[in-house]
């Protein structure tokens, strides 16, 4: 069975996926392999809609992987992606947090500077967060509140 980890940027999807299985699939890394450049460069060159198309194509290929898959925070934006997530016989785990914690983590992550972070003010990013909240809930088969929890405890809750 495929297990998707979903949630906003900075919610710890990759860290938790790595603890669940060291051979987890990082969707963003698969996308980077496919496009042959960093996501931020792709965004700048081809725009967000082109990125979303690649993201959707990759999601389709991973739905039947039977692996632990950490997704990009925007995977729930499209109806088609939500259908894929809901229809596949997958578990979809939502790592839920509040915006201020997420923003602090996105800002602190110098290794992974997200294009949406560069392109938006804090207020605009919060609007995106608010618009996605219900979408994560909509497709999740399990929601784990990650605020003030270490990755190991989050993993324990997922495995309950
Ligand atoms: C995005 C999140 C990123 C990456 C891209 C777009 C988003 O993934 O897919 O920059 O729209 O929220 P992470 O959630 O792993 O940072």
Dig out the tokens for 58 from the structure.
Answer: 């990759």
Ligand 1 centre distance from Cα of residue 6 (Å):
10
Integer distance in angstroms from the first to the last C-alpha of the chain?
Answer: 16
pLDDT, the chain, mean: 95
**Which of 3.40.50.300, 3.40.190.10, 3.40.366.10, 3.40.50.10860 would CATH assign to domain 3-159?**
3.40.50.300
- pLDDT score of 120: 94
CA of residue 114 to ligand 1 center, whole Å = 7
pLDDT reading at 123 higher than 90: yes
Structure-token pair, residue 39 = 């996501």
Alpha-helical (H) ranges within 11-78 are: 13-20, 27-35, 39-46, 48-62
Separation CA 97–CA 104 (nearest Å): 12
26 pocket-lining for ligand 1 (C-beta < 6 Å):
no
Question: Considering only CA atoms, which residue is closest to atom 8 of ligand 1?
Answer: 72
**Of the candidates 60, 54, 70, which has an alpha carbon nearest to the alpha carbon of residue 4?**
70
Task: Point out which residues pair with 96 in neighbouring strands.
Answer: 145
- In tens, the pLDDT along 19-78 reads 999 999 999 999 999 999 999 999 999 999 999 999 999 999 999 999 999 999 999 999
Query: What is the CA(89)–ligand 1 centre distance, in A?
Result: 24
pLDDT over 90, % of the chain: 92
pTM: 0.96
């Amino acid at each position: 069975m495929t297990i998707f980890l979903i949630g906003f940027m900075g919610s710890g999807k990759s860290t938790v996926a790595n603890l669940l299985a060291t051979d987890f699939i990082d969707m963003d890394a698969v996308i980077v392999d496919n496009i042959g450049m960093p996501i931020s460069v792709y965004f700048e060159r081809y725009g967000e809609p082109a990125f979303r198309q690649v993201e959707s194509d990759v999601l389709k290929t991973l739905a039947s992987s039977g692996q632990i898959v950490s997704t990009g925070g925007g995977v729930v934006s499209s109806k088609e992606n939500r259908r894929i997530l809901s229809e596949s016989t997958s578990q979809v785990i939502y790592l839920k947090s509040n915006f201020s914690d997420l923003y602090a983590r996105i800002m602190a992550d110098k290794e992974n500077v997200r294009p949406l972070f560069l392109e938006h003010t804090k207020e605009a990013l919060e609007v995106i967060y608010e618009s996605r909240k219900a979408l994560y809930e909509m497709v999740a088969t399990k929601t784990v509140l990650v605020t003030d929890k270490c990755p190991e405890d989050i993993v324990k809750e997922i495995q309950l």
